[in-house]
Structure 1
Amino acid sequence: MVLAFTIASVLSTAIGGVVALRNRDRLHLVLGFTAGVLLGLVLFDLVPELFRIRHADLGGVPLPMVTAAAGFLALHLLERGLALHAAHEGEYEPHSHHDPAIGLASAAALVAHSFLDGVGIGLGFQAGTAIGVSVAIAVVAHDFADGLNTVGIMVAHGNTSQRARVMLGADAVAPLLGAASTLVFTLPESWLGGYLGFFAGFLLYLATSDILPEAHARHPSRLTLSCTVLGVAMMWAIVSLS
């Protein structure tokens, strides 16, 4: 049963990525929708999960909240650092506003998240069939968005379609590898809370400071805004049903 659900997760991720790749002429709509999905994933899935996980405090603040701030600031500092570097280079030669390295780093983070999705499926079934099925349904449901987000982020930062496909392939296979890894190790719950917090902060920055402004910069329209609202609503429905 674990294998069946992880294969479904692989297919769900791949389909989401293909949808994004085949609609590059409507990239502003894809980006608007992606931003909404990321916001919904953080607010309806990751943050509530943090409250259910036992965790330690750091300086009187729950550890996942500290790592969430760290995740937000880490991507901000990385992006600003690359922007400053590009600005200095621009004194001597033309440069592009987009930096493929940001897209690659962001997509790599999504791949890591997908790997832990697979870990979650494996550990869920270790805890019991009912828990495993619930976790697996949630993972398969939002992995479509993961594939969409991986391609959207890569393309938004100027990466080629070939690179986007490579990262999509890695993102699709990651849950399968994650589930297989649970045969040899288990992830401490306290570590999981810290990771989820960091990833939530990372995605929050991507959605609000990166993808959404880019979507509206290209085609500021009510349709783009509607796609963002649709992305949030879709994640609400997915989390509610799962």
Structure 2
Amino acid sequence: MAVFVALGAFLMTLAGGWTAQRVTDRRHLVLGLAGGLMLGVVGLDLLPEAMEAAGREVFGVPAALLLFVAGFLLAHVMGRLLAAAHGGDEHARTPEVGLTAAAAMVGHSAMDGVAIGAAFQVGEGMGLAVAVAVIAHDFADGFNTFTLATLYGNARRKAIVLLVADAAAPVIGAASTLFFTIPHPVLGGYLGLFGGALLYLAAAEILPEAHHDHPAGPTLLCTIAGAGFIWLVVGLAGE
């Protein structure tokens, strides 16, 4: 059942990537929307789940928040190292950054599939509730995967390969739960780490590029709309 339901995430991810491809003439609006979607996914979906799953504190701070900060710093350090390797320009759009970021989205989607499978192990009602949330926000995942890959100068073919991998990842993740389960603290830690890296990409890379030499008003509205969409999805999934 979990694998069958995860096929919905496969289709929704492809739909998000297809949408990102079709609006290249309004790239700044695409990037503004992507930044809002990423912000919403991190703040309203990933981080709350990480806080709940990771549970314990380390020296007075929730472990998920420590890993969230670590993920942000890790993405920042990686960006600086790659910039140094390309002449010291911290704003250089290197293909390696795009591939790494998109690959991280694939890893996150695989964990989405694992979450679906684990929820079905608890009960069918829980599994369906989690699946609705995953399927709804996988549109954003597909949109962001294609956008991240192409933003940094990767060929469209590579971006499509990563998009297909991102779409297939939830199905593979759900299928894996037929053989093993991931402890909640480990899953929570991963979500926190990934959330920090994703926030860095949204705040330091995607949104500044969206507003570069473009009217701020429409782009800002797209960013707000993206975050609001994720809020709506999370709210409906929690009903």
Please give the TM-score of this superposition, normalised by the length of structure 2. Answer: 0.95
User: Which 10-residue stretch deviates more, 215-224 or 163-172?
Assistant: 215-224
Task: State the one-letter code of the partner of 1:49.
Answer: E
CA distance in structure 1 between the partners assigned to 2:174 and 2:48 by the alignment:
23
1:146-181 CA distance string (max 9 Å, x none): 000001111111111111101001100000000010
CA RMSD of the aligned region, Å? 1.4
* Aligned partner of 2:167 among 172, 177, 180: 172
After TM superposition, give the deviation of residue 218 of structure 1 in Å.
4.2
CA distance in structure 1 between the partners assigned to 2:225 and 2:33 by the alignment:
7
Preserved CA contact (<8 Å) 2:45 2:234: yes
1:170-198 CA distance string (max 9 Å, x none): 10000000001001110011101111110
* Pair 1:78–1:180, CA change in 2 (3 A): same
After TM superposition, give the deviation of residue 30 of structure 1 in Å.
0.7
Residues 100-111 of structure 1: matches in 2 within 5 Å? 100-111=95-106
CA distance in structure 2 between the partners assigned to 1:209 and 1:30 by the alignment:
16
| Structure 1 spans left out of the alignment, 5+ residues | 91-95
| Structure 2 spans left out of the alignment, 5+ residues | none
After TM superposition, give the deviation of residue 58 of structure 1 in Å.
2.2
Aligned length, in residue pairs: 236
CA distance in structure 1 between the partners assigned to 2:132 and 2:143 by the alignment:
18
Task: State the one-letter code of the partner of 1:21.
Answer: Q
Preserved CA contact (<8 Å) 1:12 1:144: yes
| 2:71 paired with 1:68 | no
| 2:118 counterpart residue number | 123
| 1:93 counterpart residue number | none
Preserved CA contact (<8 Å) 1:68 1:200: yes
Task: State the one-letter code of the partner of 1:7.
Answer: L
| 1:152 counterpart residue number | 147
| 2:132 paired with 1:137 | yes
Residues 91-240 of structure 1: matches in 2 within 5 Å? 97-240=92-235
| 1:47 counterpart residue number | 47
After TM superposition, give the deviation of residue 77 of structure 1 in Å.
0.4
Preserved CA contact (<8 Å) 2:2 2:175: no
CA distance in structure 2 between the partners assigned to 1:171 and 1:9 by the alignment:
10
| 1:30 counterpart residue number | 30
Preserved CA contact (<8 Å) 1:114 1:174: yes
| 2:18 counterpart residue number | 18
Please give the TM-score of this superposition, normalised by the length of structure 1. Answer: 0.94
* Pair 1:223–1:3, CA change in 2 (3 A): same
Task: State the one-letter code of the partner of 2:57.
Answer: D
Structure 1 residue ranges, 4+ long, deviating more than 3 angstroms after superposition: none
Preserved CA contact (<8 Å) 1:28 1:218: no
After TM superposition, give the deviation of residue 51 of structure 1 in Å.
3.2
After TM superposition, give the deviation of residue 50 of structure 1 in Å.
2.7
CA distance in structure 1 between the partners assigned to 2:213 and 2:113 by the alignment:
35
